[in-house]
Chains A and B, each alone.
Chain A
Amino acid sequence: MTLLRVENLRKSFGGLMAVKDLSFHVEKGEILGLIGPNGAGKSTVFNLIMGRLKPDRGRIFFKDHEITHWPTYKIVDAGIARVFQIAQYFPRKTVYENVEISAIPNEIFIRAPDPTLKTIQSCARTGLCPAEHSPDDDRCLCRTELPGMLPQGGLRRLELARAIGTDPELLLLDEPFAGLSPSEVDEISHLIESLRDEGQTIVLVDHNMRGVMRLVDRIVVLCFGEKLAEGTPEEVARNPQVQEAYLAGGGL
């Protein structure tokens, strides 16, 4: 079943056309890779989907609802969550408090359920809390640590915890492997795979095709805002245009 459908999306900034007549779709339960060199418009596509930017033209559908002009919070409530390329967190709140915010519902006047359970689940799921203390233990580091003290991998986990705290059906991951050490890349990679195994649909943005080849089910290749190719990793790798524009001599 098609979860997300993007039709003829167009966005320009001044004279620069960042996204040009882009159309693609995302199937439930798959990991889609949105690959392209830097400046290809990948982050812009995420911004458009999440309502941070309004497209000049085109439509976006999520589960058959048109979400093109929805405000961000409404899109998140509908079931799409996004992990930012540069982590967006609350610097003066602890890691636990950071994750807690996504567990709080968007209602002022109703009696809301205690966010503690949800927060603990999100923290545990993304491995934010070391094994020796569970997150509901006051001695757990994520209760006292500030995000600034986390390594890059930890920040990525924090972002993921905040994202899955909103119970998304679709996760948008913006360059999740940027700035990570090889062991951290492995860990995050496994985490993403396990999320998919639980039924999460994921769209992954990256500029390093080699890194994500074995992780994704399908790839959409972007170049200068346009779709260059689409298909399974093997099909895309064999595509001559892709090879020319992108891989230029480097094999797969």
Chain B
Amino acid sequence: MSARGVRFALVGLTVVALAAVGPLLPPKWMTTLMYAQLFAVYAMGWDILSGMTGQISFGHIFFVAVAGYTTGLLNLYLKWPIWATVPTGVVMAVLAGLLFSVPALRLRGPYFSLVTLILPLAAARFVIILADWTGGELGKFGVTPLCDNSVVDALGALLARFRIEEGAFRLYQYCNYYFFWALLACGGAGLVWLSTSRIGKILEAIRENEEAVEAAGINVAKYKIFAFMISAAVVGLGGAFSVHANEAVFFNSLLSLTTSIEMIVASVIGGMGTIVGALWGGLLVRGGESLIREIAQWKLPIGAEGVALSFLERWATLIFFAILVVLLLFARQGLVPLLLGWMKQLRIRGG
């Protein structure tokens, strides 16, 4: 099977698994997995730019914020409906990508990365200055929900045909969950297709030797900007929908530097440039953090009273940053290339 086939298969399996597992989970975990899917979309969006071209963006959350705040504020103040706010949000994110990529790409690798670090920090500053509009660090509530009553009712009616009875809250959850599931599936498929197309080959080549790509008659800047815009669009789409799913603009969801770096963690764990790696890495990071927080509620059955693990609660995020550092030191390629390597070994030995 070709590399493209393998990756489609892996994405397909993951997507099927997520679809099946979702309704089986208790509500708390279903919500967690929903947000994990959103984060996986962020990670994949990051990967198509930074993993593939090697231009590492530290501030990708900036595009989430541009799309998210545009969407939220248009809905809150101008009462635009979802099908208007979300595309506008995405367009703004893409424009922002275009605006910043053109000067920034004249910078060499590390300096480009540093400049991308400034973007979310500057945006955060201005969101706070404009707090009366944006809600500042607290955010603003009242955004139209993603799944409104008519959708929930329709879903209820559909399930009733299969003799499945579910309460409104659960239906609402299903709706949101499968919405982000669909985003993940389409995003994953689309980005895998792009990354294994001839455009993907050029992007990877840019990562390895820009000079040689230019010498092959390819306008490197054009492809870098294209990758930037696609990346901003994917990430922005996730951000725009998340605002409606949360029914609010949350500062911490839309401008967290930690989330920005977690995108890097996800991609490095899974294998930069593979898209599938970012998908798994994203699910792993968010799922893992939630799992650790869950374990923090337990007590180890050691000794008379048991050992409380509550300290783990606050260590969840840190553990993943530590994993990143360890990977950078010892295993920079990540999971998916490792897996592909094993599969190639099996194929060569068998064939």
A positions within 8 Å CB-CB of B: 50, 71-74, 76-77, 81-82, 84, 88-93, 97, 100-102, 104, 106, 108, 112, 115, 162-163, 165-166
Size class of B's contact patch?
20 to 34
A92, B217: Cα distance in complex, Å: 20
Name the contact of A101 in the complex, choosing from B201, B222, B226 (C-beta under 8 A): B201
Given contacts A90-B209, A92-B208, contact A101 B199 (CB under 8 A): no
Is B205's CB within 8 Å of the partner chain A?
A: yes
Residues A101 and B223 in contact, CB atoms below 8 Å apart: no
A93, B204: Cα distance in complex, Å: 9
Closest 10 CB pairs of A and B: A76-B217, A90-B208, A102-B216, A88-B212, A73-B219, A72-B214, A77-B217, A166-B217, A101-B216, A104-B198
Residues B208 and A73 in contact, CB atoms below 8 Å apart: no
Is B211's CB within 8 Å of the partner chain A?
A: yes
Residues A102 and B217 in contact, CB atoms below 8 Å apart: yes
Given contacts A76-B215, A76-B217, A166-B216, contact A108 B205 (CB under 8 A): no
Given contacts A72-B214, A73-B214, A108-B226, contact A90 B205 (CB under 8 A): yes
CB distance from A88 to the nearest CB of B (A): 4
Is B220's CB within 8 Å of the partner chain A?
A: yes
Is B218's CB within 8 Å of the partner chain A?
A: yes
Residues A104 and B215 in contact, CB atoms below 8 Å apart: no
- 10 interchain pairs, CB-CB under 8 A: A81-B215, A82-B215, A84-B215, A90-B208, A91-B209, A101-B218, A104-B202, A104-B218, A106-B217, A108-B199
A118, B141: Cα distance in complex, Å: 58
A89, B219: Cα distance in complex, Å: 17
Complex interface: chain B residues within 8 A of A102 (CB)? 216-217
Complex interface: chain A residues within 8 A of B212 (CB)? 88-90, 101, 162
Residues B219 and A101 in contact, CB atoms below 8 Å apart: no
Is B105's CB within 8 Å of the partner chain A?
A: no
CB distance from A149 to the nearest CB of B (A): 16
A97, B202: Cα distance in complex, Å: 10
CB distance from B232 to the nearest CB of A (A): 16
Given contacts A73-B217, A104-B218, contact A88 B209 (CB under 8 A): yes
Is B98's CB within 8 Å of the partner chain A?
A: no
Complex interface: chain A residues within 8 A of B223 (CB)? 108
Residues B211 and A101 in contact, CB atoms below 8 Å apart: no
Instruction: Choose among A89, A101, A112 the residue with the greatest number of B CB atoms under 10 Å from its CB.
Output: A101
Complex interface: chain A residues within 8 A of B219 (CB)? 71, 73-74, 106
Name the contact of B213 in the complex, choosing from A50, A71, A101, A165 (C-beta under 8 A): A101
A112, B199: Cα distance in complex, Å: 11
Complex interface: chain B residues within 8 A of A108 (CB)? 199, 222-223, 226
A77, B215: Cα distance in complex, Å: 9
Residues B222 and A97 in contact, CB atoms below 8 Å apart: no
Residues A101 and B205 in contact, CB atoms below 8 Å apart: yes
Complex interface: chain A residues within 8 A of B211 (CB)? 88
Complex interface: chain A residues within 8 A of B213 (CB)? 101
Complex interface: chain A residues within 8 A of B214 (CB)? 71-73, 76
CB distance from A162 to the nearest CB of B (A): 6
The digit string for B315-351, where 1 denotes a CB below 8 A from any CB of A, is 0000000000000000000000000000000000000
The digit string for B219-239, where 1 denotes a CB below 8 A from any CB of A, is 110110010000000000000
CB distance from A139 to the nearest CB of B (A): 9
